[in-house]
Amino acid sequence: MPTYGYRCPAGDTFDLVRPMAEAGEPARCPDCGEPARRVFGGPALRSLDPAVRRALDAGARSADSPDVVTSLPGRSRRATPVTKDPRHARLPRP
Ligand SMILES: [Zn+2]
């Protein structure tokens, strides 16, 4: 069953796991007992793979404050290996 967020008139927020058919119905606040209305929030990102969550967080952070670098990145590309096999010389060339 999905989790829905609710907010009571006093401003308390809480989550309830309930059937989709009951999502729009008011829920009782566990703190004050007043009927609470459903509020809509972001998706449940807790279930994401931690690596995906780190990448999303880094992307969101870089939108406002990009990382400051003090030096150029090193060479990331390895040198092309040169073969010594004579059969490779007969292969077609582009
Ligand atoms: Zn309340």
Distance CA 75, CA 69 (A): 15
User: Is the per-residue pLDDT at 65 higher than 90?
Assistant: no
The residue ranges of every structural domain in the chain are 1-62
Ligand 1 centre distance from Cα of residue 31 (Å): 5
Q: How far is the CA of 37 from the centre of ligand 1 (A)?
A: 11
How many whole angstroms separate alpha carbon 52 and alpha carbon 88?
Answer: 41
Please give the distance, rounded to the nearest whole angstrom, from the Cα atom of residue 48 to the centre of ligand 1.
30
15 three-state secondary structure:
strand
Q: What is the pLDDT of residue 37?
A: 92
3-state secondary structure of 23: coil
Q: What is the pLDDT of residue 10?
A: 92
* Per-residue tokens: 77: 């590309």
How many C-beta neighbours within 10 Å does residue 48 have? 13
- Alpha carbon of residue 38 to chain centroid: 23
pLDDT in tens, 9-62: 999 999 999 999 988 888 999 999 999 999 987 776 567 788 888 898 888 888
For residue 62, the model assigns a pLDDT of 87
Q: How far is CA 10 from CA 16, 24, 29, 30, 32, in A?
A: 17, 19, 9, 12, 8
